[in-house]
Protein backbone atom coordinates (compact mmCIF):
# COMPACT_ATOMS: atom_id res chain seq x y z
CA UNK A 1 0.00 0.00 0.00
CA UNK A 2 1.74 3.19 -1.16
CA UNK A 3 0.70 6.35 0.64
CA UNK A 4 1.28 10.02 -0.06
CA UNK A 5 -0.84 12.40 2.03
CA UNK A 6 -3.58 9.80 2.17
CA UNK A 7 -4.90 10.46 5.66
CA UNK A 8 -8.55 11.21 4.68
CA UNK A 9 -9.07 7.63 3.42
CA UNK A 10 -6.10 5.73 4.83
CA UNK A 11 -7.92 4.56 7.95
CA UNK A 12 -10.68 2.88 5.94
CA UNK A 13 -8.16 1.19 3.64
CA UNK A 14 -6.06 -0.17 6.50
CA UNK A 15 -9.16 -1.29 8.42
CA UNK A 16 -10.39 -3.21 5.36
CA UNK A 17 -7.16 -5.23 5.31
CA UNK A 18 -7.14 -5.95 9.03
CA UNK A 19 -10.79 -7.10 8.83
CA UNK A 20 -10.07 -9.78 6.21
CA UNK A 21 -11.53 -13.23 6.80
CA UNK A 22 -8.13 -14.54 5.71
CA UNK A 23 -6.14 -13.15 8.62
CA UNK A 24 -2.73 -14.69 7.84
CA UNK A 25 -1.27 -11.65 6.12
CA UNK A 26 1.23 -8.84 6.35
CA UNK A 27 0.40 -5.29 5.35
CA UNK A 28 3.31 -3.21 4.12
CA UNK A 29 2.48 0.51 3.98
CA UNK A 30 5.06 2.62 2.19
CA UNK A 31 4.96 6.32 2.99
CA UNK A 32 6.23 8.52 0.17
CA UNK A 33 6.95 11.71 2.11
CA UNK A 34 3.52 12.52 3.54
CA UNK A 35 3.15 15.75 5.53
CA UNK A 36 -0.51 15.37 6.53
CA UNK A 37 -0.08 13.03 9.49
CA UNK A 38 -0.20 9.82 7.45
CA UNK A 39 3.29 8.76 8.55
CA UNK A 40 2.36 9.09 12.22
CA UNK A 41 -0.93 7.26 11.66
CA UNK A 42 0.88 4.37 9.97
CA UNK A 43 3.39 4.17 12.83
CA UNK A 44 0.56 3.97 15.36
CA UNK A 45 -1.24 1.27 13.39
CA UNK A 46 2.00 -0.74 13.17
CA UNK A 47 2.39 -0.43 16.93
CA UNK A 48 -1.14 -1.75 17.47
CA UNK A 49 -1.01 -4.67 15.00
CA UNK A 50 2.20 -6.65 14.34
CA UNK A 51 0.93 -7.61 10.87
CA UNK A 52 1.56 -4.03 9.72
CA UNK A 53 5.03 -2.96 8.62
CA UNK A 54 5.87 0.66 7.91
CA UNK A 55 8.35 1.51 5.15
CA UNK A 56 9.31 4.85 3.64
CA UNK A 57 10.86 6.22 0.46
CA UNK A 58 13.10 9.29 0.49
CA UNK A 59 9.93 11.25 -0.26
CA UNK A 60 8.03 12.29 -3.36
CA UNK A 61 9.30 9.40 -5.47
CA UNK A 62 5.91 8.30 -6.75
CA UNK A 63 3.77 5.18 -6.41
CA UNK A 64 5.95 2.95 -8.60
CA UNK A 65 9.02 3.29 -6.38
CA UNK A 66 6.85 3.03 -3.27
CA UNK A 67 5.17 -0.16 -4.51
CA UNK A 68 8.50 -1.62 -5.57
CA UNK A 69 9.92 -1.01 -2.12
CA UNK A 70 6.99 -2.99 -0.72
CA UNK A 71 7.35 -5.76 -3.31
CA UNK A 72 11.02 -6.16 -2.38
CA UNK A 73 10.27 -6.30 1.33
CA UNK A 74 7.26 -8.65 1.18
CA UNK A 75 7.72 -12.15 2.60
CA UNK A 76 4.54 -13.94 1.53
CA UNK A 77 3.94 -16.28 -1.38
CA UNK A 78 1.01 -14.25 -2.72
CA UNK A 79 1.41 -10.55 -3.43
CA UNK A 80 -1.67 -8.32 -3.43
CA UNK A 81 -2.01 -4.59 -3.99
CA UNK A 82 -4.23 -1.95 -2.40
CA UNK A 83 -4.10 1.82 -2.85
CA UNK A 84 -4.43 4.00 0.22
CA UNK A 85 -7.87 5.30 -0.80
CA UNK A 86 -9.41 1.99 -1.90
CA UNK A 87 -11.16 -0.65 0.22
CA UNK A 88 -11.31 -4.45 0.12
CA UNK A 89 -14.49 -6.30 1.03
CA UNK A 90 -13.88 -8.49 4.08
CA UNK A 91 -13.87 -11.72 2.03
CA UNK A 92 -11.54 -10.37 -0.68
CA UNK A 93 -8.43 -12.37 0.16
CA UNK A 94 -10.20 -15.54 1.29
CA UNK A 95 -12.43 -15.71 -1.79
CA UNK A 96 -9.75 -14.69 -4.24
CA UNK A 97 -7.09 -17.07 -2.89
CA UNK A 98 -9.59 -19.93 -2.84
CA UNK A 99 -10.38 -19.25 -6.49
CA UNK A 100 -6.70 -19.14 -7.45
CA UNK A 101 -5.78 -22.31 -5.60
CA UNK A 102 -8.74 -24.33 -6.86
CA UNK A 103 -8.36 -23.18 -10.48
CA UNK A 104 -4.56 -23.33 -10.56
CA UNK A 105 -4.30 -19.60 -11.35
CA UNK A 106 -1.03 -17.73 -10.75
CA UNK A 107 -2.09 -14.19 -11.75
CA UNK A 108 -5.59 -12.95 -11.03
CA UNK A 109 -7.80 -9.88 -10.78
CA UNK A 110 -11.49 -9.05 -10.32
CA UNK A 111 -14.07 -6.34 -11.11
CA UNK A 112 -14.35 -3.35 -8.79
CA UNK A 113 -17.01 -0.89 -7.69
CA UNK A 114 -16.30 2.80 -8.28
CA UNK A 115 -17.35 5.01 -5.35
CA UNK A 116 -17.09 8.73 -4.70
CA UNK A 117 -15.23 10.42 -1.86
CA UNK A 118 -18.38 10.17 0.29
CA UNK A 119 -18.88 6.46 -0.55
CA UNK A 120 -21.69 6.92 -3.09
CA UNK A 121 -21.72 4.01 -5.50
CA UNK A 122 -21.06 5.05 -9.12
CA UNK A 123 -20.78 1.87 -11.20
CA UNK A 124 -19.28 -1.60 -11.36
CA UNK A 125 -16.24 -1.80 -13.64
CA UNK A 126 -16.04 -5.28 -15.05
CA UNK A 127 -12.99 -7.01 -16.50
CA UNK A 128 -12.64 -9.98 -18.77
CA UNK A 129 -12.22 -13.29 -17.04
CA UNK A 130 -9.66 -14.25 -19.69
CA UNK A 131 -7.26 -11.62 -20.96
CA UNK A 132 -4.09 -11.64 -23.05
CA UNK A 133 -1.34 -9.05 -22.99
CA UNK A 134 -2.54 -7.79 -26.36
CA UNK A 135 -6.10 -7.43 -25.04
CA UNK A 136 -4.84 -5.37 -22.14
CA UNK A 137 -2.49 -3.24 -24.21
CA UNK A 138 -5.36 -2.44 -26.57
CA UNK A 139 -7.37 -1.41 -23.48
CA UNK A 140 -10.30 -3.62 -24.27
CA UNK A 141 -10.40 -4.58 -20.62
CA UNK A 142 -9.32 -3.11 -17.28
CA UNK A 143 -7.31 -4.68 -14.47
CA UNK A 144 -7.60 -2.50 -11.36
CA UNK A 145 -4.43 -2.34 -9.28
CA UNK A 146 -6.24 -2.88 -5.98
CA UNK A 147 -7.81 -6.10 -7.30
CA UNK A 148 -4.65 -8.00 -8.30
CA UNK A 149 -3.00 -11.00 -6.66
CA UNK A 150 -0.07 -12.93 -8.12
CA UNK A 151 1.75 -16.07 -7.00
CA UNK A 152 5.44 -15.32 -6.45
CA UNK A 153 6.28 -18.99 -5.97
CA UNK A 154 5.22 -19.72 -9.55
CA UNK A 155 6.04 -16.42 -11.24
CA UNK A 156 8.90 -15.06 -9.16
CA UNK A 157 9.19 -11.52 -7.84
CA UNK A 158 8.66 -8.80 -10.42
CA UNK A 159 8.66 -5.03 -10.05
CA UNK A 160 6.74 -2.20 -11.68
CA UNK A 161 8.38 0.07 -14.26
CA UNK A 162 9.28 3.31 -12.52
CA UNK A 163 6.99 5.76 -14.29
CA UNK A 164 4.52 7.95 -12.39
CA UNK A 165 1.38 6.43 -13.90
CA UNK A 166 0.56 3.24 -15.81
CA UNK A 167 3.26 1.41 -13.85
CA UNK A 168 0.75 -1.22 -12.77
CA UNK A 169 -0.26 -1.83 -16.40
CA UNK A 170 3.41 -2.36 -17.23
CA UNK A 171 3.66 -5.11 -14.61
CA UNK A 172 0.38 -6.77 -15.66
CA UNK A 173 1.64 -6.94 -19.25
CA UNK A 174 4.83 -8.64 -18.10
CA UNK A 175 2.99 -11.17 -15.94
CA UNK A 176 0.48 -11.96 -18.68
CA UNK A 177 3.27 -12.61 -21.16
CA UNK A 178 5.06 -14.84 -18.67
CA UNK A 179 1.87 -16.86 -18.28
CA UNK A 180 1.36 -17.05 -22.05
CA UNK A 181 4.96 -18.11 -22.70
CA UNK A 182 5.18 -20.53 -19.78
CA UNK A 183 1.81 -22.26 -20.05
CA UNK A 184 0.67 -20.78 -16.74
CA UNK A 185 -2.87 -19.71 -15.97
CA UNK A 186 -3.95 -16.07 -15.67
CA UNK A 187 -7.63 -15.56 -15.02
CA UNK A 188 -9.97 -13.05 -13.44
CA UNK A 189 -12.50 -13.74 -10.72
CA UNK A 190 -16.00 -12.62 -11.71
CA UNK A 191 -16.98 -11.11 -8.34
CA UNK A 192 -16.41 -7.42 -7.49
CA UNK A 193 -14.45 -7.48 -4.22
CA UNK A 194 -12.96 -3.97 -4.16
CA UNK A 195 -14.26 -0.43 -3.76
CA UNK A 196 -12.21 1.93 -5.94
CA UNK A 197 -12.48 5.54 -4.84
CA UNK A 198 -12.61 8.30 -7.46
CA UNK A 199 -12.02 11.83 -6.16
CA UNK A 200 -10.28 15.01 -7.36
CA UNK A 201 -7.05 14.13 -5.55
CA UNK A 202 -6.72 10.63 -6.95
CA UNK A 203 -3.74 10.11 -9.23
CA UNK A 204 -5.86 8.64 -12.01
CA UNK A 205 -8.19 11.66 -12.17
CA UNK A 206 -5.98 13.69 -14.57
CA UNK A 207 -6.85 12.56 -18.11
CA UNK A 208 -4.10 14.48 -19.91
CA UNK A 209 -1.54 13.23 -17.44
CA UNK A 210 -2.80 9.68 -17.91
CA UNK A 211 -2.45 10.08 -21.68
CA UNK A 212 1.15 11.26 -21.30
CA UNK A 213 2.05 8.22 -19.26
CA UNK A 214 0.20 5.92 -21.64
CA UNK A 215 2.59 7.20 -24.31
CA UNK A 216 5.54 6.69 -21.96
CA UNK A 217 4.42 3.12 -21.37
CA UNK A 218 4.16 2.39 -25.08
CA UNK A 219 7.51 3.90 -25.97
CA UNK A 220 9.75 3.61 -22.89
CA UNK A 221 8.42 0.42 -21.25
CA UNK A 222 6.98 -1.58 -24.14
CA UNK A 223 9.57 -0.09 -26.54
CA UNK A 224 7.19 -0.11 -29.47
CA UNK A 225 8.41 1.42 -32.74
CA UNK A 226 7.13 4.94 -33.23
CA UNK A 227 4.47 4.05 -35.81
CA UNK A 228 3.04 1.14 -33.79
CA UNK A 229 3.09 3.22 -30.62
CA UNK A 230 1.27 6.06 -32.39
CA UNK A 231 -1.42 3.76 -33.78
CA UNK A 232 -2.06 2.28 -30.34
CA UNK A 233 -2.01 5.67 -28.67
CA UNK A 234 -4.59 7.09 -31.11
CA UNK A 235 -6.80 4.05 -30.48
CA UNK A 236 -6.40 4.56 -26.71
CA UNK A 237 -7.32 8.25 -27.02
CA UNK A 238 -10.37 7.48 -29.18
CA UNK A 239 -11.67 4.90 -26.71
CA UNK A 240 -11.18 7.38 -23.86
CA UNK A 241 -13.23 10.01 -25.71
CA UNK A 242 -15.89 7.55 -26.90
CA UNK A 243 -16.42 6.28 -23.34
CA UNK A 244 -17.50 9.79 -22.32
CA UNK A 245 -19.83 10.54 -25.22
Residues 203-211 have a mean pLDDT of 65
Residues 92 and 114 in one domain: yes
On whether both 37 and 93 belong to a single domain, the answer is yes
What SS3 state is found at 191?
Answer: coil
CATH of the domain at 170: 3.90.550.10
Q: CA 117 to CA 113: how far, in whole Å?
A: 13
Going by their DSSP bridges, the two strands 185-186 and 194-197 should be labelled as unpaired
Question: Is residue 221 located within the same domain as residue 138?
Answer: no
Residues 200 and 212 in one domain: no
Q: Both 130 and 192 in a single domain?
A: yes
Angle at 195 between CA 190 and CA 201, to 5 degrees: 135
pTM attached to this predicted model: 0.88
Q: List strands edge to edge, sheet with 121-125.
A: 87-88, 194-197, 112-115, 121-125
228 φ, ψ (degrees, to nearest 5):
-65, -40
Sign of the torsion angle spanned by Cα atoms 71, 8, 56, 166: positive
pLDDT in tens, 163-192: 877 899 999 999 999 999 999 999 999 999
Are 155 and 52 contained in the same domain? yes
Residues 167 and 230 in one domain: no
Containing domain of residue 235, as a range? Answer: 206-245
- Residue 242: its pLDDT value, please? 58
**For 36-74, how does the pLDDT look when each residue is reduced to its tens digit (9 = 90+)?**
999 999 999 999 999 999 999 999 999 999 999 999 999
Same domain, 199 and 224: no
Amino acid sequence: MPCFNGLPFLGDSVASVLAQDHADLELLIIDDGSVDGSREFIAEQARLDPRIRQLATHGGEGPAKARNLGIGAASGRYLAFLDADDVWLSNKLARHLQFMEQAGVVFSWCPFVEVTADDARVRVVSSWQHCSAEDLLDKRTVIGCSTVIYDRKRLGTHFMPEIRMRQDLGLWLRLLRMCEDGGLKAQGLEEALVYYRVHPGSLSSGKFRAAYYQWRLLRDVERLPLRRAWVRFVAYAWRSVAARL
